[in-house]
């Protein structure tokens, strides 16, 4: 089973993933938790190039690097885990590519879909939790978490985060369109809701969708 989380930077995915991981620990569906980009030695190196680098990377180069990292993670870690019947929770998957490289950077949708098929070996999530937040609120949250003054310092941002608020508005709109096309796969949540309320909604929705989760959270 593959559960993915999506949303723009600062939506609070990691908090929700941590809560879910804690709840499922020691249970039959105890998950393997992974994030993209990263998760294998090579994929972590690619992550470093993508996020920490001070160099400009072209949109196509960026797409191929994210995709290379994904292919490593899917083939080496995710597919074997799923074949063993394990639950995998993944912080970002190909919807991030459609939203960020497609809608954000403006790369061609059809070309993107073929590269996604190639890099995922056609693997698709069973359910995707999307945490919706405006770029403005996401930035506010990021800086308040770090207790930084709101006069923001570009050096605190990674390479993607330095793409600016218009970019993030396009990414958010991209997610909206992706969800529109695949309503059944997505569970859309308001990222500004209380984290505990969000956690309960996530657990409830897993219980409704999958028998393996129906008893979880009730005990
Ligand atoms: P990360 O620090 O993991 O951010 P977050 O906590 O927001 O998930 O950084 C991942 C960044 O890479 C994030 O800005 C989204 C971006 N990204 C893409 O642009 N395309 C992709 O395919 C993936 C997986 C991530």
Find the mean pLDDT for residues 118-122.
98
Residue 163 domain-assigned? Answer: yes
Side-chain half-sphere exposure of 114, counting CA atoms within 13 A: 4
In a domain, 203, yes or no: yes
CA–centroid distance, residue 75 to ligand 1 (Å): 20
| Mean pLDDT (whole number) for 105-134 | 98
Does residue 126 belong to any structural domain of this protein? yes
Would the CB of 37 count as within 6 Å of ligand 1?
yes
117 pLDDT exceeds 90? yes
Neighbouring residues of 149: CB distance < 8 A, sequence distance ≥ 6? 143
What's the pLDDT at 199?
98
Q: By percentage, how much of the chain surpasses pLDDT 70?
A: 95
Query: What is the Å distance from ligand 1's center to 36 Cα?
Result: 7
Report the 10 Å Cβ neighbour count for 107: 18
Q: Which residues of 57-182 form beta strands (DSSP E)?
A: 87-91, 127-132
Decide if pLDDT at 50 tops 80.
yes
Look at the chain and report how many structural domains it folds into.
Answer: 1
Q: pLDDT per residue over 142-171, tens digit each?
A: 777 665 555 556 777 888 888 888 999 999
Does residue 38 line the site of ligand 1, with CB under 6 A? no
Residue 6 Cβ inside 6 Å of ligand 1? The answer reads: no
The pLDDT value recorded for residue 107 is 98
Ligand 1 atom at minimum distance from 9 CA:
7
Give residue 148's domain range: 2-213
Does some domain include residue 219? no
CA of 5 to the centre of ligand 1 (A): 11
76: pLDDT strictly greater than 60: yes
pLDDT value at 92 more than 90: yes
CATH (domain of 23): 3.40.50.300
Kindly report, residue by residue over 18-41, the tens digit of the pLDDT: 999 999 999 988 999 999 999 999
């Amino acid at each position: 089973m593959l559960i993915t989380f999506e949303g723009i930077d600062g939506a609070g995915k990691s908090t929700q993933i941590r809560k879910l991981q804690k709840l499922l620990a020691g249970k039959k569906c105890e998950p393997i938790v992974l994030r993209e980009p990263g998760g294998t030695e090579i994929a972590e190196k690619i992550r470093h190039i993508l996020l920490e680098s001070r160099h400009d990377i072209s949109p196509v180069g960026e797409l191929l690097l994210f995709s290379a990292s994904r292919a490593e993670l899917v083939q080496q870690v995710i597919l074997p885990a799923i074949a063993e019947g394990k639950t995998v929770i993944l912080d970002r998957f190909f919807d991030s590519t459609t939203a960020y490289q497609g809608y954000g950077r403006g790369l061609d949708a059809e070309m993107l879909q073929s590269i996604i098929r190639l890099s995922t070996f056609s693997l698709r999530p069973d359910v995707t939790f999307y945490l919706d937040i405006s770029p403005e609120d996401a930035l506010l949250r990021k800086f308040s978490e770090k207790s930084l003054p709101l006069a923001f310092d570009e050096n605190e941002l990674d390479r993607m985060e330095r793409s600016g608020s218009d970019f993030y508005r396009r990414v958010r709109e991209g997610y909206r369109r992706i969800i529109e096309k695949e309503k059944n796969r997505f569970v859309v949540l308001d990222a500004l809701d209380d984290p505990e309320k969000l956690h309960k909604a996530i657990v409830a929705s897993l219980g409704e969708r999958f028998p393996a989760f129906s008893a979880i959270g009730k005990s």
